[in-house]
Structure 1
Amino acid sequence: MIKGWSKLMILVVPGLLLLALLACARAAPTATPTRAPAAAPTATPTRVVTPTPAVRVPTGTLNLGLIGFGSDIWLVSHSSGEEKQAMWAVMADRLLDYDLATGSKLVNDTGLAESWRLDVTGGSPTVTFKLRKGIPFHKGYGELTSEDLKFTLETIVVPDAVNPYANSLRGIVGDKVQYVETPDPYTVVIKPTKPVAGMEAVFGPRGALYAVISKKAWDAAGGREGFRNNPVGTGSFEFVEEARNQRLTFKAQKTHWRQVPGFETLIIQNVPEEATRIAMIRSGQLDIAAMSARFKNEVAAASGTRVVTTPFGGEVFVIFGGQFLPSRETYGAKPPYNSPWVGLDEKAKLVRKAMNLSMDREVIISKILFGEGRKVGVPHLFDVPGAPWYNANWKPYPYDPAQAKKDLAQAGYPNGFPIKASLLSLPYGPSTADIMEAVAGSWEKELGLKVERQLFEYRPVWRQKLADRSHSGWAYAFTQPQYQEPYLYMQCCFQSKGVVVHWEFEWVDQKFAEIEKAFDPDLRFKLTREVGDWLYDNYISMPMASLNALWAVGPRIAQGWGPTPGITTVNRLEYLPPPTR
């Protein structure tokens, strides 16, 4: 029985970022490029930024259609979702950024820091950032300085922050930024008392620092409540207004240190229904729209429209809820949940194994994702062939329903058991709910499970369940964009100190503590591999697939444009040339 709002389609769908699970119709080639993220360097040389050609003059309006905006709170401390982070990328520059070609390594070309250095010599590692000079904030709020960076960090480590990396950042800069020094207007030095390996990544776009904001603008707005509705950044586009849950409007900067946009106005519209987004692309009402793979052939065949692919856009997996520390009241093996899959005993492991073996991932990828995915053996961003932590023995679990039935019977559940399935609506994963529906159907068919389905939007309800650790008794599919290293993702969502948590284990906490102290990359990669082996051997989650992200674009979007690899949300809009029509 399906409960909840009725707009979400759950038929045979595949999706943009969701990769995984159904069995449907049309077969297609499976070609998904993969990449191996580079190890985070301990230092990067300063690079010379090529100035934007002075001849570019922004013209026209760029219309973008997305599935949702997330919250309407414009605070870095409370911008917890990929969709809100994407909005910050429009109007703010990052301190550190990933290279545009691969999206796998931190560089200085496009970040506010012209150089940065992690010094791990001696007993007190430090991180030093040198800011670019002469970068103005929007709306006349003066030049970016080291005090603005320190202030931004201060706003993120507040007690009520929901930024997924707020807790990690507190450990680095202090809960009152007491470990941050500003020796001059363009230098920030951080001297944590408890440094962690790879801590520079926390300051990147996949960490806590989506933007550096203006302290003057904050004060002029009367503080947090005023700034949250009128954000000020340094990006290529300036925030103009928000019509709540309908559209966001931005205007181009006529001069910019990094890139002057080609379009004068950017309007981002909230269009939840995918069929509506595609129709608006075909009619010219939208220029770019998020799309799932099931519309790929239609968009590619239509006159004037095409599909833009972002390689290695993320990963989809299924979480078995309630796998928390046994000391928690919501631990799934306790009453009233009594979830058969929770625990590290042999019976619970057999249940998780059976649930994994009952799903035919190959059919899903070839006939639902239209080739826009690759099976993975270990979930949560570990399975990156060629990466220094990768283990070639992480073979995808086979589809073996007969063995799955035997394992479930051996665990004591020959007739199955009840389970609730959350069908999530994710703005950066249009088909996540359909993937969970496919998994639920397979569990019913192959294992005899009694699945109760319910539709949820990720915000506000389901995300709060992750924060409260209150999703015992549930299973759910989730689509996650890439991180430079898997342990950076674990910081946020797979440890007992995490802000939003999918699962937590004491063994993983202990291993994570070792990884944080591993300033030697080889040791860090070895420990990361051990965690991947443990996930694989214990069937902790259901690995599904890595995926490409897809975008439907209209005729005004120049050939050659595409978002940065490894990022599921739209980006690089400022690099689009002026419209040709």
Structure 2
Amino acid sequence: MGSQFLSASTALTRRAVMGLAMAASLVLAAGMPAEAAPKTSLTLGMSVEPTGLDPTIAAPVAIGQVTWQNVFEGLTTIDRNGKVQPQLAESWTISPDGLIYTFKLRQGVTFHNGEAFDSAVAKFSIDRARGADSVNPQKRYFAAIDTVETPDAATLVLKLKQPAGSLLYWLGWPSSSIVAPKSAADNKTTPIGTGPFKFVSWTKGASVELARNPDYWNKAGAARLDKATFRFIADAQAQAAALKAGDVDAFPEFGAPELIDSLKGDARLATVIGNTELKVVAGMNNAKKPFDDKRVRQALMMAVDRQAVIDGAWSGFGTPIGSHYTPNDRGYVDLTKTYPYDPQKAKALLAEAGYPNGFSFTMKAPQMAYAQRASQILQAMLAEIGVTMTIETTEFPAKWVADVFKGGNYDMTIVAHAEPMDIDIYARDPYYFNYKNPTFNEILKKVEATADPAAQEKLYAEAQTILATDVPALYLFVMPKLGVWDKKVAGLWENEPIPSNVLSEVHWTE
């Protein structure tokens, strides 16, 4: 009896153990897909921390690189191919004379704080951007607008003073983002938009965190990530270390081309070289001697070996340019041969301009690696024609904006202009180049007076040729987009038709 009990008990125990083991294995098996499921958060690195988070009140591109198309949206948008697409305006019509734009607005859209989007909100945003006290960095984009009308909640009508052939494109820019009346004043630190991500927090000097917007109006375009963190890492070695350690999943604009080869050896990382609108130019103060003499500017251009600048400043990554235009832009003309590298001709032209023994000047160079390296190379090249350049490192953006951009207190500076199709900056008054050319200005006006792409491209070619000849800035090269990210990350933009980090399509593949 006892032995039977023992054996039965043992058998029962064995079955129980086996059953528990099977149950455990089933639990583990059931748990495995959860363990292997794709991640839903992303940490993205940026070299420059934005000064604020509202792209409608300040110019630095880093603002839009965090918030544009993530938090904020516009009536139109620019897609990854640089094309205009509908967004908060689902469609529009343009009158035959080009002076009346009627937008049909999306309905059922709300801001992250629950405010409804309608024509009154769109009017508020546009009037805020174009008003007398506007600080919008692209205020001129709205200059052609005469009146903004709201016949009903779903209709917005813009009546223009004169045609503006680029208006739909401009309305897609970060600076044209639609903001809500109740929250607009606080968007600099706590941005509230209609986008696929909501702002969570900003730890100054470190990071900005966004979270998926569960109430996003565009279900087809809803974010696939639950969380996105932007980490700000200025030092190139630290950027590489963060990528290798997996502390950062992606660096869409990696700041150290000389380290690209070392990252190519990492089996986990992909290196993606795309194109950008980043035009590196050494701007001269055209109102100041000796840069007020076109011959001096032309001589300096002939003293520059563009390929040597690219090799030395950006490890050979880049495309030489002869004007303020990139090969991506419509109507591009290669003008690098207008004043090709020729130190002897440069010396002769300097002598003709009255500077046979050269002259001295100061280069105010931002602290970014490309600007410092390019300045040092230019310094050596200009010394070959008897011109002495002193390099003064100028903190970017604050001091550079105050001294150079706003103050005009400089001889020469160097910066990468990130805005697409921004050749019109040479027609702006004031602008830091202090370049004045009525013929150039007229050409730019004609561009806006027509909506015919072929006519616009012909005019853009004329404008490029004038700049290549007048040389208000030394045109150096277009920086590529050096992207480095985890191979399992998909959906990031490989090219950059507009400065951005659009995350709506980003996801992990496994």
Question: Given the two structures, how large is their TM-score scaled by the length of structure 2?
Answer: 0.84
What is the alpha-carbon distance in structure 2 between the residues aligned to residue 577 and residue 571 of structure 1?
A: 13
Q: Which residue of 1 aligns with 2:460?
A: 528
Q: Which residue of 2 aligns with 1:235?
A: 195
What is the alpha-carbon distance in structure 2 between the residues aligned to residue 555 and residue 402 of structure 1?
A: 50
The letter of the residue matching 2:42 is L
Q: Which residue of 2 aligns with 1:406?
A: 348
Q: Which residue of 2 aligns with 1:436?
A: 375
Gaps in structure 2 of 5+ consecutive residues:
1-36
The letter of the residue matching 1:407 is L
What is the alpha-carbon distance in structure 2 between the residues aligned to residue 59 and residue 418 of structure 1?
A: 56
Which of 495, 506, 510 pairs up with 1:565? 495
What is the alpha-carbon distance in structure 1 between the residues aligned to residue 121 and residue 302 of structure 2?
A: 52
What is the alpha-carbon distance in structure 2 between the residues aligned to residue 571 and residue 460 of structure 1?
A: 23
What is the alpha-carbon distance in structure 1 between the residues aligned to residue 483 and residue 441 of structure 2?
A: 38
Q: Which residue of 2 aligns with 1:353?
A: 298
Q: Is the 8 A contact 2:119 2:153 kept in 1?
A: yes
Deviation at 1:106, TM superposition (A): 0.9
- SS state at 1:352 partner: helix
Does 2:414 correspond to 1:477? yes
- SS state at 1:78 partner: coil
Q: Does 248-257 or 235-244 show the bigger shift?
A: 248-257
Deviation at 1:158, TM superposition (A): 3.9
Q: Which residue of 2 aligns with 1:449?
A: 387
What is the alpha-carbon distance in structure 1 between the residues aligned to residue 84 and residue 493 of structure 2?
A: 16
Q: Does 414-423 or 548-557 show the bigger shift?
A: 548-557
Change (3 A) 1:556 1:397: same
Deviation at 1:505, TM superposition (A): 0.7
Does 2:69 correspond to 1:87? no
Which of 124, 129, 140 pairs up with 1:167? 140
Q: Does 348-357 or 157-166 show the bigger shift?
A: 157-166
Q: Which residue of 2 aligns with 1:252?
A: 212
Q: Which residue of 1 aligns with 2:16?
A: none
What is the alpha-carbon distance in structure 2 between the residues aligned to residue 569 and residue 552 of structure 1?
A: 16
Does 2:228 correspond to 1:286? no
Deviation at 1:283, TM superposition (A): 0.8
Which of 260, 270, 273 pairs up with 1:309? 273
Question: Given the two structures, how large is their TM-score scaled by the length of structure 1?
Answer: 0.74
Q: Is the 8 A contact 2:302 2:345 kept in 1?
A: yes
Deviation at 1:392, TM superposition (A): 5.7
Q: Is the 8 A contact 1:167 1:497 kept in 2?
A: no
Does 2:48 correspond to 1:106? no
Change (3 A) 1:396 1:94: farther
What is the alpha-carbon distance in structure 1 between the residues aligned to residue 386 and residue 335 of structure 2?
A: 31
Q: Which residue of 1 aligns with 2:229?
A: 267
Deviation at 1:126, TM superposition (A): 1.1
Q: Which residue of 1 aligns with 2:169?
A: 201
What is the alpha-carbon distance in structure 2 between the residues aligned to residue 397 and residue 443 of structure 1?
A: 15
Deviation at 1:566, TM superposition (A): 3.5
Q: Is the 8 A contact 2:322 2:334 kept in 1?
A: no
Deviation at 1:519, TM superposition (A): 4.4
Deviations 1:151-208, CA, capped at 9 Å, x for gaps:
1112222444443311331x2335xxxx0011122211100223333232221227x3
Q: Is the 8 A contact 1:314 1:568 kept in 2?
A: no
- SS state at 2:372 partner: helix
Does 2:181 correspond to 1:181? no
What is the alpha-carbon distance in structure 1 between the residues aligned to residue 120 and residue 428 of structure 2?
A: 33
- Give identity over the alignment, percent: 21
The letter of the residue matching 2:75 is L
Q: Which residue of 1 aligns with 2:364?
A: 422
Which structure: greater helix fraction? 2
CA RMSD of the aligned region, Å? 2.7
What is the alpha-carbon distance in structure 1 between the residues aligned to residue 366 and residue 472 of structure 2?
A: 20
Q: Is the 8 A contact 1:341 1:349 kept in 2?
A: yes
What is the alpha-carbon distance in structure 2 between the residues aligned to residue 227 and residue 166 of structure 1?
A: 18
Deviation at 1:374, TM superposition (A): 1.8
Q: Is the 8 A contact 1:59 1:264 kept in 2?
A: no
- SS state at 1:575 partner: coil
Q: Is the 8 A contact 1:58 1:261 kept in 2?
A: no
Change (3 A) 1:161 1:467: farther
Q: Does 191-200 or 352-361 show the bigger shift?
A: 191-200
The letter of the residue matching 1:410 is E
The letter of the residue matching 1:163 is N
Deviation at 1:312, TM superposition (A): 3.7
Q: Is the 8 A contact 2:197 2:213 kept in 1?
A: yes
Change (3 A) 1:392 1:359: closer
What is the alpha-carbon distance in structure 2 between the residues aligned to residue 376 and residue 213 of structure 1?
A: 37
Does 2:115 correspond to 1:115? no
Change (3 A) 1:554 1:568: farther
Does 2:45 correspond to 1:71? no
Q: Is the 8 A contact 2:112 2:193 kept in 1?
A: yes
Using CA pairs under 8 Å that are at least 6 residues apart, name the structure with larger relative contact order, 1 or 2.
Answer: 1
- SS state at 1:504 partner: coil
Deviation at 1:514, TM superposition (A): 3.7
Deviation at 1:282, TM superposition (A): 0.7
Q: Is the 8 A contact 1:317 1:544 kept in 2?
A: yes
Gaps in structure 1 of 5+ consecutive residues:
1-56, 219-223, 324-330, 333-338, 343-347
Deviation at 1:273, TM superposition (A): 1.0
What is the alpha-carbon distance in structure 2 between the residues aligned to residue 253 and residue 310 of structure 1?
A: 29
Deviation at 1:279, TM superposition (A): 0.6
Q: Is the 8 A contact 1:252 1:264 kept in 2?
A: yes
The letter of the residue matching 1:274 is A
- SS state at 2:243 partner: helix
Q: Is the 8 A contact 1:282 1:554 kept in 2?
A: no
- SS state at 2:113 partner: helix
Change (3 A) 1:116 1:425: farther
Q: Which residue of 2 aligns with 1:190?
A: 158
